[in-house]
Amino acid sequence: NAGVTQTPKFRILKIGQSMTLQCAQDMNHNYMYWYRQDPGMGLKLIYYSVGAGITDKGEVPNGYNVSRSTTEDFPLRLELAAPSQTSVYFCASSPHQETQYFGPGTRLLVL
């Protein structure tokens, strides 16, 4: 199993650009999550999904959108990138509401 994969690993965006961060898992997990981690800060939950077709907001959803059309994929969309969205983004999945398996992260820089 590849586990949780994320692409790209690193990206530089200009203010106002849009992009999609990809996340996929091959463990058939129902639950998937997107977090951001700012330097010296803990992880903050952006969005989560309890299954295909179901998504919900986390602690810091503003400026982001998600979709969950399949069990495997959970992309995160930034429509109008802002410098405040410079961060490292982690995707995670879990079989139940328990331990989460994290992807390797995507480092995003908005200039």
Partner 1 sequence: EDKVVQSPLSLVVHEGDTVTLNCSYEVTNFRSLLWYKQEKKAPTFLFMLTSSGIEKKSGRLSSILDKKELFSILNITATQTGDSAVYLCAVEATGNQFYFGTGTSLTVIP
Residue numbers at the binding site for partner 1 (CB under 8 A): 4, 31, 33, 35, 40-45, 48, 50, 56, 58-59, 90, 97-105
Residue 50: CB minimum distance to partner 1, A: 6
- Residue 38 · residue 83 · CB < 8 Å: no
CB nearer to partner 1: give 14 or 42: 42
CB nearer to partner 1: give 78 or 103: 103
Residue 62: CB minimum distance to partner 1, A: 16
Q: What is the DSSP string of 51-86?
A: ETTEEEE-S--TTEEE--SSSSB--EEESS--GGG-
Nearest of 92, 88, 107 to residue 31 by alpha carbon: 92
Residue 66: CB minimum distance to partner 1, A: 14
Beta-bridge partners for 21: 76
CB nearer to partner 1: give 14 or 96: 96
